[in-house]
């Protein structure tokens, strides 16, 4: 079979740009500093035998009030050409401009103008071939933005409307791209999921079958013109069938007697990935690629081994599987917590003193990738050896505590117990009987998070007083006088998290009674 890409394995750069429920605009390209380090990132990809990448032209970032700034696209296209990479351009990865309205025809028209302008820049900088994903994961986007209000436009019960608005935008975008670049390839990317009836509930199989047959594949059918041809879809608009698959992509229907449960590959009801790929190809034809897949932490090497086996089975059965995109190729932050980088890339990140996110090759995953390349893509198997594995670092002993079991109280005073002590913080327990008090004091460099575990207390933070009840917390900033009084007839139990450790911050050494009681 002919090859679409110069390597079987691709790398995907996380590029979500949607608005969160808190009103924050995500820009994960910037959050990973890929916008600043693209040249280095491309060199890293080629060094491990990856010669095609999923890249981003970030619509909400580059289209401000209808004014386009496509210099970032031009720069990335040039860097890709210089690195010898093929780029697949994501144009709408969950986000649209702040002043846009997804439900109006003008939104699709505006997106088409953007898509055509991007194609013009890419064609001028790229020798070809060119690839585009006009709208990423229409089905997930419709559910998250139209059914559960997880991202803009924060709809509920409007998933069908959002899905069709996105399909119209994808069709209009593809048409605009083809006007500029008639030979451009479209890659439609959708989640590959499978719903199961829970054990003992054969009455729910029809519901699961309907979801798998119609809901999961509806966006493909709309784009291909199999459903609602008045939208303008065709098999060409569907293009290359891209499927996103992760370990949680098969699950059961939730029922009162059993919650929703994800199936692992060793579950008796699990459908092999190779079988799912074969079913999709029978429905639409090829070619297919796994457009997003990956795992996190120390499970990454085993996931690549799993993908290699399943891809091999699919190829043996004649599936026109053209590639596997490791996503993200560079570890990116969580959508909800931008400070949490869940190690999921081939390259993890580590902040340097200058604020630059250094790329760190995860050696075990790289070794698993080389074994996979030897089977699926030997011509791109790197010749240079991997650096020796670093010496394993011993894990610190597990620290676990049950604060209520450690509770002690003193009459008209407070009892103190260090529960846990890490490198930079401590967890302490304060027990105040009726009338007990922690006098006003301050720590020059340490701040406390004080959480009431039981009872109710009056907390003074600076000049402010606040009543704090069980389950509530209050922050005592560094350098500010603070104290606690129990004016009730019940015991008061307070968990105090301190960082940096109060004793270390003041005296630059361990507390002489660490983990002791007073």
Structure tokens at 451: 């959480």
CA dihedral 425, 427, 430, 431 (to 10 degrees): -170
More confident residue, 413 or 473: 473
For position 259, what pLDDT does the model report? 92
Give pTM, 2 decimals.
0.90
For position 504, what pLDDT does the model report? 58
For position 340, what pLDDT does the model report? 84
- Residue ranges covered by each domain of the chain: 403-507
Cis peptide before 243 (omega within 30 of 0): no
Do residues 326 and 318 make contact, with C-beta atoms less than 8 angstroms apart?
no
The superfamily in CATH containing domain 403-507 is Jelly Rolls (2.60.120.10)
Q: Measure the CA–CA gap between 32 and 133, rounded to whole angstroms.
A: 21
Q: Measure the CA–CA gap between 429 and 414, rounded to whole angstroms.
A: 10
For position 509, what pLDDT does the model report? 56
pLDDT band per the 50, 70, 90 thresholds, residue 503: low
Q: Measure the CA–CA gap between 4 and 130, rounded to whole angstroms.
A: 10
Q: What is the mean pLDDT of residues 154-166?
A: 96
Check whether 506 has a pLDDT greater than 70. Answer: no
Three-class SS of 348-398: EEEECCCCCEEEEECHHHHHHHHHHHHHHCHHHCCCCCCCCCCCCCCCCCC
Sign of CA dihedral 277, 56, 333, 25: negative
- Mean of per-residue pLDDT scores for the chain: 93
pLDDT tens digits for range 172-194:
999 999 999 999 999 999 999 99
Q: What is the mean pLDDT of residues 14-21?
A: 93
Q: How far is CA 47 from the centre of its chain?
A: 25
More confident residue, 443 or 279: 279
Check whether 268 has a pLDDT greater than 60. Answer: yes
Do residues 52 and 7 make contact, with C-beta atoms less than 8 angstroms apart?
yes
Q: What is the mean pLDDT of residues 229-244?
A: 98
Q: Measure the CA–CA gap between 495 and 499, rounded to whole angstroms.
A: 13
With b for 16 or more beta-carbon neighbours within 10 A and e for fewer, the 25-49 pattern comes to ebbbbebbbbbebbeebbebbbebb
- Tell how strand 426-432 and strand 414-421 pair up: antiparallel
Give the residues across from 133 on adjacent strands: 90
For position 517, what pLDDT does the model report? 45
For position 515, what pLDDT does the model report? 44
pLDDT tens digits for range 28-82:
999 999 999 999 999 999 999 999 999 999 999 999 999 999 999 999 999 999 9
Q: Measure the CA–CA gap between 206 and 201, rounded to whole angstroms.
A: 11
More confident residue, 184 or 256: 184
Check whether 507 has a pLDDT greater than 70. Answer: no
pLDDT band per the 50, 70, 90 thresholds, residue 516: very low
Sign of CA dihedral 244, 247, 251, 254: negative
Q: What is the mean pLDDT of residues 356-385?
A: 97
């Amino acid at each position: 079979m002919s090859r679409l890409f110069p390597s079987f394995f691709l790398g995907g750069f996380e590029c979500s740009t949607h608005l969160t429920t808190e009103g924050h605009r995500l820009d994960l390209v910037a959050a990973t500093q890929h916008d600043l380090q693209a040249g280095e990132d491309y060199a890293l990809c080629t060094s491990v035998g990856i010669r095609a990448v999923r890249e981003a032209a970030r619509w909400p970032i580059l289209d401000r009030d209808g004014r386009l700034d496509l210099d970032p696209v031009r720069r990335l296209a040039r860097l890709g050409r210089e690195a010898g990479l093929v780029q697949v351009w994501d144009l709408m990865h969950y986000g649209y401009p702040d002043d846009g309205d997804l439900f109006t025809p003008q939104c699709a028209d505006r997106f088409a103008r953007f898509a055509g302008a991007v194609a013009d820049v890419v064609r001028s900088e790229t020798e070809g071939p060119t690839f585009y994903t006009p709208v990423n994961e229409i089905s997930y986007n419709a559910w998250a933005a139209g059914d559960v209000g997880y991202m803009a436009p924060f709809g509920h019960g409007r998933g069908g409307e959002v899905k069709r608005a996105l399909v119209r935008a994808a069709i209009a975008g593809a048409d605009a791209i083809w006007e500029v670049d008639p030979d451009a390839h479209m890659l439609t990317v959708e989640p590959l999921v499978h719903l199961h009836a829970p054990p003992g509930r054969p009455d729910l199989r029809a519901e699961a079958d309907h979801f798998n047959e119609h809901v999961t594949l509806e966006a493909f059918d709309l784009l291909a013109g199999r459903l609602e041809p008045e939208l303008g879809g065709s098999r060409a608009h569907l293009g290359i069938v891209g499927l996103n698959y992760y370990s949680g992509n098969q699950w059961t229907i939730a029922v009162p007697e059993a919650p929703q449960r994800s199936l692992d590959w060793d579950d008796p009801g699990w459908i092999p990935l190779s079988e799912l790929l074969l079913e999709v190809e029978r429905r639409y034809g090829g070619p297919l690629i796994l457009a997003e897949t990956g795992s996190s932490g120390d499970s990454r090497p085993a996931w690549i081994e799993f993908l290699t086996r399943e891809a091999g089975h699919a190829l043996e059965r004649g599936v026109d599987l053209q590639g596997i995109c490791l996503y993200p190729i560079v570890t990116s932050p969580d959508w909800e917590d931008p400070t949490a980088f869940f190690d999921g890339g081939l390259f993890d990140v580590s902040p340097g003193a200058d604020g630059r996110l250094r790329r760190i090759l995860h050696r075990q995953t790289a070794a698993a990738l080389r074994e996979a390349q030897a089977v699926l893509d030997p011509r791109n198997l790197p010749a240079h050896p991997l650096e020796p594995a670093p010496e394993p670092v011993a894990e610190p002993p597990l620290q676990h505590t049950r604060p209520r079991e450690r509770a002690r109280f003193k009459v008209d005073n407070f009892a103190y117990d260090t529960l846990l002590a890490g490198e930079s913080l401590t967890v302490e327990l304060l027990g105040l009987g009726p009338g007990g008090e922690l006098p006003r004091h301050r720590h020059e460099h340490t701040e406390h998070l004080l959480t009431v575990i039981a009872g109710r207390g009056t907390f003074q933070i600076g000049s402010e007083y606040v009543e704090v009840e069980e389950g509530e917390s209050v922050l005592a900033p560094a350098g500010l006088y603070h104290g606690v009084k129990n004016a009730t007839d019940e015991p008061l139990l307070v968990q105090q998290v301190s960082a940096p450790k109060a004793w270390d911050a003041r005296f630059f050494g361990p507390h002489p009674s660490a983990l002791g009681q007073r």
